[in-house]
Structure 1
């Protein structure tokens, strides 16, 4: 059985220092893939733009700067006005996005209630994924 926790929020894309564009974003977590989170950015030209990375990376990034390479996350501020920053890099460029830290923290906590860290490997069902891979089925 697949269970998911999703949440819509508006992130802000910093295009130039001080210039921000609102980007509707869908946060998605599926118990069948317990180690990952997905951010689906809604772009009026390209449609959905997905980013998938480690749930632990996002959780850690809400508390302290973390990440190297393609995904870097860090918090700023305190209280209701606090932000979480995501710097996403690809061969096509990079994007600096910001969102409400309390809102993202609440969503991340809900993913850990669904699949606690201690149950991630059980929920992953490696045997089924390996069998599908070896049989050439998706």
Structure 2
């Protein structure tokens, strides 16, 4: 049966995000690999299994959505993620307002001790999307095995 559908017109980014969501759901239905270990990006350490995130050894007090957003971006360090993909993957919606993402990114930036004007980890590329990457001069990335 049908798992999802798109109405025309749609963008390639939207199609890609929806396909990724369907693939993720289909993988969740089958046998999965062992749970991911801690994801490290610079001074960030994210434990998806325990739903804990630390910055330079200090635990971050994140909402569920902030944690999901940070984890999703940390799983793709240095990759620019389109807003539509964030809506599809983090919010589980194929539609929405960019302002929703902007507000959550702003709250997350504040908790990471940065601003949009002076980013350390979260970098917005206007009209394209957002990426998470370690600050210059910090250890690179250690994705889960």
Highest RCO, 1 vs 2 (Cα 8 Å, sep ≥ 6): 2
Higher strand proportion, which one?
A: 1
The alignment's TM-score, normalised by the length of structure 2, stands at 0.28
The alignment's TM-score, normalised by the length of structure 1, stands at 0.29
